[in-house]
Amino acid sequence: MAHEPSAEDRLIARYFQPIATHPGALSLSDDAAFIKPPPGCDLVLTADAVIGGVHFFADDAAQSVAGKALRVNLSDLAAKGAKPLGFLLSLALPKDVGDDWLSSFAEGLRGDAVLFGCPLFGGDTVRTPGPIMVSIAMFGSVPEGTMVRRAGAKPGDRVFVSGSIGDAALGLALRKGASWKLSDAQRQHLTSRYLLPQPRNALAEAVRTHASSAMDVSDGLAGDFTKLCRVSGVAADIDVGKVPLSDAAKAVIMAEPAMRETALTGGDDYEIVCTIPAAKAEGFRAAAQTMRVAVTEIGEIKAGEGARFLADGKPLAFKRTSFSHF
């Protein structure tokens, strides 16, 4: 006797099967999927979740929610020097989420899956009495033994960061009602950086071949880089005046100098902070320029413990060094 597909089966077939383009995904028709790493490569695994009311606003477009969920994981792979291979998706949905939201979500997910060469392999969909939750487990590959870790920084290494720092934290402040005299373009820049990260996957190969240590900046430059120094067992001096800021962020800090701390500690940048041996610094700059990703040298690794953030040569003391869920 033939059985009709369940509501969940129909949802998966309609919205997510088109994103499962790898043969190992088995068209999402099985309980599991399979993948064979490229010859001579290690798998690199990471997982992150985004939750309504915590990582995005209830009125954010579903397409951008999907993009953010995927991109925060892509950013982790980029900092490890890894190439994305695919991902698993767990989606918890309240009852009031309908076809319009799901259609837009799937469209955003499919667009980024194609853009970053990262197909869907499977996952789970469930109902929740709470807010929307999108949890992604992602896997990538690196040549055997070459994954860039947080540990590995050595005295004398130069500290580099990609892109610009603080835009997303300031964009979040705008979303929460902050009012600074900004142009429409500046306001749009800050809010879009919070809404949709720009992971630096184009920089992954340069990080893998040049960096002694690296991590993505998700919870704030000050706190995240302090973690890297702790795991590496080193100290560092960071020149706050060299930390790259967008014109919009500079305008905010000029209007309200206290927001400099928010920019340095607020999180959601999804840039890469890495340490590069001095002999490789010029090569790293050249590789980044080839990939059209801006990188800026902001400090140096020292012997000792802890990262110091210096303004005009004087250490800054932060109320908190990074965002924390707990």
Classify residue 301: in a domain, yes or no.
yes
**Do 194 and 279 share a structural domain?**
yes
Q: Are 109 and 19 in contact (CB under 8 A)?
A: yes
Copy the structure tokens of residue 189: 């820049």
pTM of the model: 0.93
State the pLDDT at residue 319: 81
For 233-252, write each residue's pLDDT tens digit: 999 999 999 999 999 999 99
Classify residue 150: in a domain, yes or no.
no
**Listed range (94-103, 163-172, 294-303) with the worst mean pLDDT:** 94-103
Whether pLDDT at 326 is above 70:
no
Domain count, the chain: 2
Q: Determine the structural domain holding residue 133 and report its residue range.
A: 7-143
Whether pLDDT at 155 is above 50:
yes
How many CB atoms are located within 10 Å of the residue 122 CB? 22
Whether pLDDT at 2 is above 60:
no
Phi and psi angles of residue 224, each rounded to the nearest 5 degrees, phi first: -65, -45
Copy the structure tokens of residue 200: 């630096």
**Do 135 and 26 share a structural domain?**
yes
| Confidence label for 323 from pLDDT (cuts 50, 70 and 90) | low
Classify residue 321: in a domain, yes or no.
no
Helix (H) or strand (E) holding 167: helix 167-175
* Listed residues 87, 112, 143: the one ending a domain: 143
* Listed residues 108, 143, 178: the one ending a domain: 143
Going from the C-alpha of 278 to that of each of 54, 275, 313, the distances in angstroms are 39, 9, 22
The domain spanning residue 77 has which CATH number?
3.30.1330.10
Classify residue 24: in a domain, yes or no.
yes
Kindly state the average pLDDT of the residues 180-204. 96
Classify residue 92: in a domain, yes or no.
yes
**Do 283 and 256 share a structural domain?**
yes
Q: What percent of the chain has pLDDT over 90?
A: 86
Classify residue 123: in a domain, yes or no.
yes
Q: Which amino acid is at 280?
A: K
Whether pLDDT at 325 is above 70:
no
**Do 172 and 49 share a structural domain?**
no
Kindly state the average pLDDT of the residues 127-139. 95
- Cα 53 off chain centre by: 18
The single-letter DSSP state of residue 206 is H
**Do 283 and 174 share a structural domain?**
yes
Rg from Cα positions in the chain: 21
For 13-48, write each residue's pLDDT tens digit: 889 999 999 999 999 999 999 999 899 999 999 999
Sequence-distant (6+) residues with CB within 8 A of 208 are 80, 81, 82, 142, 143, 146, 147, 148
* Listed residues 80, 113, 143: the one ending a domain: 143
Going from the C-alpha of 101 to that of each of 28, 106, 119, 242, the distances in angstroms are 21, 9, 21, 42
Classify residue 117: in a domain, yes or no.
yes
